[in-house]
Amino acid sequence: MTRLNARIPEGPVASKWTAYKSASRLVNPNNKRKLDIIVVGTGLAGASAAASLGELGYRVKVFCYQDSPRRAHSIAAQGGINAAKNYPNDGDSAYRLFYDTIKGGDYRAREANVYRLAEVSNQIIDLCVAQGVPFAREYGGLLANRSFGGAQVSRTFYARGQTGQQLLLGAYSALSRQIALGNVTLFNRRDVLDTVLVEGRARGIITRNLVTGEIERHAAHAVVLASGGYGNVFFLSTNAMGSNVTPAWSAYKKGAMFANPSFTQIHPTCIPVHGDTQSKLTLMSESLRNDGRIWVPKKVKDVEKLRNQSIKPADIPEEDRDYYLERRYPAFGNLVPRDVASRAAKERCDAGFGVGRTGVAVFLDFADAIKRKGHDTIDALYGNLFQMYEQIVAENPYETPMMIYPAVHYTMGGLWVDYELMTTIQGLFAIGECNFSDHGANRLGASALMQGLADGYFVLPYTIGNYLSTEIHTPRFDTSSSEFTIAAQAVTDRLQQIKNCGGKESVDHYHRRLGKIMWEYCGMARNDAGLTEALYQLTELRHEYSRGVRIPGGLDEYNPELEKACRVADFIELGELMVRDAQQRRESCGGHFREEFQTSEGEALRNDDKFAFVAAWEYKGREVSANLHREELQFNEIKLSQRSYK
């Protein structure tokens, strides 16, 4: 257990970051030019980090699989970004944002990191405004705020329903400026397939040029992974089609520990699955729950009539509707946190009250809100979302209730990092959704954008300097060294092996099967027997996959099936680790719900005595179980309590 040291600075939580910054070592400007940094990923975390490091004078190489850095999936975030500005004068503060984040994460995040996140949140807003991000404004010209995800203060800044897009374009523009200045070099359409270690330190990566198929070697004094989350392990998720765990997984296999892999967030308001050929899921902003009422029929015969279309939702009288969130949680009603709302929807559908053709959906009804507030007000608030829904489902939400169902949306787990955002490999950093650090077992709305930008703009540029200050005498690396040659050869061998396995099924065939196993046994509700079954099925799947997949085309050309094949191979292995993690955590917390551990009312039951720790897994080999390391969580500022939304 000695290997895990979070290196949290001494002192009271509110002054730790200041103390750290004052004591950390610096690199002088002349030396910065001699130091190379690799950044993998160009989402909010990667783009902001690459831009900021370029501005400081380091030589940065940035990589993305997309054709342009502007397309990273942060762009799809809708709702907003939190900050403790307290502009509305409603009593917000860094401490409150810190408190809410720890509590929302169900007490499974590290206090020191979360406090720092809350502390730098205000600087993010200042910087984004200076970059020209067009946040929503009041008539007086100052910034507008809204309350989000049931928060008691209005601390969310937003740009219509496209906050992620606007923040990412801000970071992308800063990055573009550094590219033009020559401080950052961009490598687009690249898959990062391995991390290279020299004498135990991260010194580079192996990439595949997706257009030419060339295997390339890149060296640097430090490597930063900002490769996002792994929600696509479920096949269907709100992630982009290309989102993958491969860079993080390659680091895991080289010795970076992977923390809390089973902590995934299932978002309650997504558009339900339409059928077998579905390729991805679309999120509807959580803000809809501010005015929409969620219900299913009380009577099974109404469910049947809806399914054979002999009645419409509006034909069901008020007394025959079950507004189950309002019934179960009178205090918070439809605004309970994401994990609670998701599980409640599953419970009703599993009990046979689900609506829609598939029976796997619930209603989100705006009829009352339209009556109360008027058509125009609802249109102003949600017009673009209603349009999007109609475009996808071909039903008008003004006339008939929306249908929604939970979908995988975000992964709180990720590479274990210390206070400096460094993994258990020296010189390898992980930022944004790629790391595990700030959201505990459940992420609050509008906190992902905050964390990505906090890490990239305001945390990593300081902490990486502290590491690199010891590297100024290290000359630039030669990529013809044996370490790079061995790593590049291993990547080539692996690709060849996948290509030549001579199977008959497509990659998607296996990916869908993987998704089904994960969703069934390691999704919204988990239990010991199911997890054991999942582990068995995943081992089978892994073996079948290694000899059953068919890849057309060659290695040295544009080959999307080959790209997918590498990603899915890693997802299958990750799935096994997620299941193991879910199995060892014999408690329910946040997004992790173990059916054996619930209150008599069906609510999550934590076990703080035994499980107030971060589970960090160390890779031991393909056929050997990973080793579990525990980082005990200390709560000095906040008293642990049961979340209650009744």
Partner 1 sequence: MKFTLKIWRQENAKAKGEMISYDVAGISPDSSFFEMLDTLNQNLVMTGGDPVAFDHDCREGICGTCSLYINGRPHGPVKGVTTCQLHMRSFTDGDTIHIEPWRAKAFPVVRDLIVDRSAFDKIIQAGGYVSVNTGGVPDANTIPVPREKSEAAMDAAACIGCGACVAACSNASAMLFIGAKISHLALLPQGEVEAAKRVQKMVASLDELGFGNCSNTYACEAECPKGISVSNIARMNRQFIGAKLFAEKEKIVRDSL
Whole-Å CA distances, 15 to 12, 21, 115: 6, 10, 9
The reply to whether 121 sits near partner 1 by the rule CB under 8 A is no
The residue within the footprint of partner 1, chosen from 82, 166, 423, 588 (CB under 8 A), is 166
Task: State yes or no: residue 508 binds partner 1 (CB under 8 A).
Answer: yes
For 504, counting Cβ atoms within 10 Å of its Cβ (0-12 exposed, 13-18 middle, 19+ buried), the class is exposed
Residue whose CB is less far from partner 1, 66 or 424: 66
Q: Report the residue count for the chain.
A: 646
The strand pairing partners of 392, in sequence order, are none
Residue from 13, 44, 50, 51 that binds partner 1 (CB under 8 A)? 51
Q: Is 159 in the site for partner 1 (CB under 8 A)?
A: yes
CA distance 433 to 231: 11
Contact window for partner 1 (CB under 8 A) among 2-10, 233-241, 473-481, 589-597: 233-241
Q: Which stretch binds partner 1 (CB under 8 A): 46-54, 303-311, 420-428, 518-526?
A: 46-54
55 binds partner 1 (CB under 8 A): yes
> Does position 140 bind partner 1 by CB under 8 A?
yes
- The minimum distance between CB 422 and partner 1, in angstroms, equals 20
Query: How far is residue 111 CA from its own chain's centroid?
Result: 20
- 338 a catalytic residue: yes
Looking at beta carbons only, is 274 or 371 nearer to partner 1? 274
Binding mask 309-348 for partner 1 (x = CB under 8 A): ----------------------------------------
Does 466 engage in binding with partner 1 (CB under 8 A)? no
Binding positions for partner 1, 360-419, rule CB under 8 A: 388, 391-392, 394
Q: How far apart are CA 209 and CA 609, in angstroms?
A: 49
Stretch that binds partner 1, among 146-154, 200-208, 272-280, 307-315 (CB under 8 A): 272-280
CB of 288 to partner 1, least distance (A): 16
Closest CA to 96 of 613, 104, 107: 104
* Residue 239 Cβ vs partner 1, minimum distance, rounded to whole Å: 9
The binding track of 570-609 with respect to partner 1, each residue x by CB under 8 A or -, is ----------------------------------------
Query: Nearer to partner 1 by C-beta: 168 or 534?
Result: 168
- Annotated active-site residue in 338, 443, 567, 606: 338
Torsion of CA 516, 517, 518, 522, to 10 degrees: 130
User: Contact 196/483 with Cβ under 8 angstroms?
Assistant: yes
Taking the alpha carbons at both ends of the chain, their separation in whole angstroms is 39
Q: Candidates 66-74, 101-109, 572-580, 623-631: pick the segment binding partner 1 (CB under 8 A).
A: 66-74
Distance CA 511, CA 464 (A): 37
Please, are residues 47 and 172 in contact by the beta-carbon 8 Å criterion?
A: yes
Buried b (16+ CB within 10 A) or exposed e, 278-310: eeebebbbbbbbbbbbbbbbbeeebbebbeeee
Distance in Å, CB of 373 to partner 1, minimum: 21
Nearest CA among 441, 481, 585, 471 for reference residue 526: 585
Please say whether the beta carbons of 224 and 464 come within 8 A: yes
Q: Does 125 bind partner 1 (CB under 8 A)?
A: yes
